[in-house]
Structure 1
Amino acid sequence: MKITKLELLHVKPRWLLLKMHTDEGIIGYGEPTLEGRSRSVEMFIKECEDYLLGQDPRYIEHHCQVLYRGGFYRGGPVQMSAISGIEQAMWDIKGKFYNMPVYEMLGGACRTKIRMYSHIKKTAIAGGNSVDEMVAMALARRSAGYTAVKYSIIPPIAPIDTLHAVREAVNRFAAVREAIGEQMDLAIDFHGRVSPAMAIRLAAELEPYYPMFIEEPCLPENVDAMVNIARSTRVPIAAGERLFSKWGFRELIEKQAVAIVQPDTCHAGGIFEGRKIASMAEMYYMTIAPHNPLGPVSLAACLQLDACTPNFLIQEHPGADDLSDLGVGYLKTPFEVIDGYIDVPKGPGLGIELDEEAIRGKLFDGSWETPLIYHEDGSLADW
């Protein structure tokens, strides 16, 4: 079997999909989306064509090694997102060729269903949603059967902020916690928008309300800063969405900066690389909760990883009102969340087929930009 064509589709709202064609007629899907930089990833994948065309897609590890190590420069968001989408598509092809799900080729399923959590925010700009809006969204998720939800801290916290700002942030969390009760998990994503000093203060104030985890309490470039935060609080720390390949996760895991590791199968190197990262985390008794704010192909890849990973905790998906992230309007058979879980997929490969006719009306040029947010003094805040 040989790869004959790499077809790239930018589809709304901001996703880049890869269709890998073969001379056997099997098509593999991947999602090499890189938020705000998908057109750069598209060019990188086109540069990979000289190597990939004519290759047997079943030699997944070999091809990923060539794409990663074959040039002088290694890693980073553009290269790793490209490799991730290519890797997903090759696994999809291989699974379809052997008529089995990807997780069956990675040791088999460890569970029958996959716990999901969703977001309870609709905007990350200005002041964000009101407390009443967030409470209403959280209660709607609970009514839909979800057992966990998450939101991102907004507005951004200044590097050293006021007691009022801290209390506003904590009161928002407390209001949602009171509304949903003790049997539903509630996580908060600091999103790297908070300084280490303020993260320690906020974590202490949030602790009585039992956050499931605090995600990216500070930016990920300085692992020791995250270690200091983790040592200061009893709240589990989660991070990893902006790290690339097992090499990028090594220090985070070895220094035990987190309790929950969050590889993104569209950025960290794909499904098998995510499985390697999960094994590294397992040695330190950490769990994984794969990052996924993207589309249905990304979710399909995550579910394959979740199914075969013993230290899996919970799977993120945005929870779009139109169910687009579950594949409505994109997949012939969308995913369905039932009582907060998705059943382990049974189909071969990623277990999905694109709805070509529906996607045709969603194509665009890929020109999506990351929104900018600012502090009160007009200086740029971290996204």
Structure 2
Amino acid sequence: MKIIDIQTLVVNAEMRNWVFVKVVTDQDGLYGWGEASLNWKTRAVTGAVEDLKPLLIGKDPRDIEQIVRILNKHSYYRLGIIGATAISGIEHALWDIFGKSLDLPVWRLLGGKTRDSVRVYTHLGLGDMKSVYETFDEGALRDKALAVVEQGYDALKVVFIPYAHFSVGIPARKHVGRLMRTLRDAVGDGVDIMIDFHGRPASIAGALQFIEELAPYNPMFCEEPVIPGDTEAMRLVTERAGCPIATGERLVGFKEFEPLFAAKACHIVQPDLNHTGGILEGKRIAAAAEQAFMGVAPHNPNGPIAGAAALHFDVSTPNFVIQEEMSGAVPWYDDVVSVPMKRTGSAWAVPEGAGLGVEVNEREAAKHPFKQEVFHTATAILPDGTIVDW
């Protein structure tokens, strides 16, 4: 079996572009689908896939470890987030081919089942990006949270930390406290709440001041309280916070996670299998996290194939905690792609189909070509004109 072509298919999903990767083999009708979506980097990622393709033509797609090594080593310059995302999409497709060739689901090839269902959560607004990032009003927050719970979810994530700088004013802190109290009162103790800071506080003190307002309401975790990359800052926040701390969506590969493990600098890691180098790299990260007494809650606000890859990873990963998901993010979702994620309440069922269990209707996908994504980052400006983290 040999790889004869690698193609990309861009599908605009209104607030972001999905980048699907198709790896084609010389076996009649045998191909695999992966995903390499990266917000605001669509053209760079598709170009990276095209640049990497010549390295793989003629290779056996089942030699996944070797192929990933080729993509990393033979690129010469070390790859950042764009290259790692391109590799992730290709790698997903290789697993899909491998599973199809054996008529087995991918999770079987990753070591088998470690659970009978996969707990999931969604965002405020059920995927509507404006609701996710722009809900700072108590009434709207309550209504949108209840709408999520009405859909059967028992866990949700919110992003209501204000754009911040090195110091945090009392009104901003108190407003966050009111929002969290409103949210907890609305959904009750039976619903887990996660707060995504998006790395907005520019200081350890600022992050801790916000966490002090949130902790009494028992969040499942506070995510990215400071910008990733500074392990010591993350460790200090984790040691002093009165609730679990999570991070990792913007880290690339095992090497960038390793300092977190050594320093015990968080409680939950959040590798994005769409960005960190693929499923194999995610399994390495998860294994090291388990040894460091950390859980894994994979990041995934991406498209449907990334969701399928995460599902198979979750089924086979012992220290899995909860999965971010964005199913049905657009009205025509089911017209473009069929996926193995079947949700009952707040859990996905374990899939039994071959490979990742995904099929793409390329004709329908072509109806939603590339468009420039919305730049939410343009709102991350303080009243005095200072540009801050989004």
- Which band: TM-score by shorter chain? over 0.9
Matched, 1:294 2:302: yes
Residue of structure 1 in register with 2:382 after alignment: 375
SS of 1:328's equivalent in the other structure is helix
Matched, 1:12 2:20: no
- Residue 158 of structure 1: which of 146, 165, 186 is its match? 165
Gaps of at least 5 residues in structure 2 are none
- 2:193–2:220 contact (8 Å) kept in structure 1: yes
Residue of structure 1 in register with 2:24 after alignment: 21
Partner Cα distance (1:213, 1:47) in 2: 39
Partner Cα distance (1:173, 1:349) in 2: 41
Matched, 1:193 2:200: yes
Partner Cα distance (1:333, 1:88) in 2: 14
Q: Deviations over 1:138-183 (max 9, x none)?
A: 1122122111000113431232021001011121111011100011
- Residue 135 of structure 1: which of 133, 142, 160 is its match? 142
1:367 Cα offset (Å): 3.2
1:224 Cα offset (Å): 0.5
Matched, 1:342 2:377: no
Count of residue pairs the alignment pairs up: 380
Partner Cα distance (1:247, 1:150) in 2: 28
1:333 Cα offset (Å): 4.9
Residue of structure 2 in register with 1:315 after alignment: 323
Residue of structure 1 in register with 2:368 after alignment: 362
1:337 Cα offset (Å): 1.8
Partner Cα distance (1:65, 1:231) in 2: 37
RMSD over aligned CA atoms reads: 1.7
Partner Cα distance (2:375, 2:329) in 1: 21
AA aligned opposite 2:341: F
- Residue 78 of structure 1: which of 72, 75, 82 is its match? 82
Residue of structure 2 in register with 1:267 after alignment: 275
AA aligned opposite 1:96: K
TM score, norm. by length of structure 1: 0.95
Partner Cα distance (1:106, 1:37) in 2: 30
The percent of aligned pairs where both chains have the same amino acid is 37
Matched, 1:112 2:116: yes
Partner Cα distance (1:94, 1:53) in 2: 16
1:371 Cα offset (Å): 2.3
- Residue 38 of structure 1: which of 28, 33, 42 is its match? 42
Residue of structure 1 in register with 2:257 after alignment: 249
Partner Cα distance (2:327, 2:181) in 1: 22
Change (3 A) 1:235 1:39: same
- 1:75–1:244 contact (8 Å) kept in structure 2: no
1:75 Cα offset (Å): 3.4
1:280 Cα offset (Å): 0.4
Gaps of at least 5 residues in structure 1 are none
Matched, 1:61 2:65: yes
Q: Deviations over 1:254-300 (max 9, x none)?
A: 11111111000110111111111000000011110000011100100
- 1:261–1:287 contact (8 Å) kept in structure 2: yes
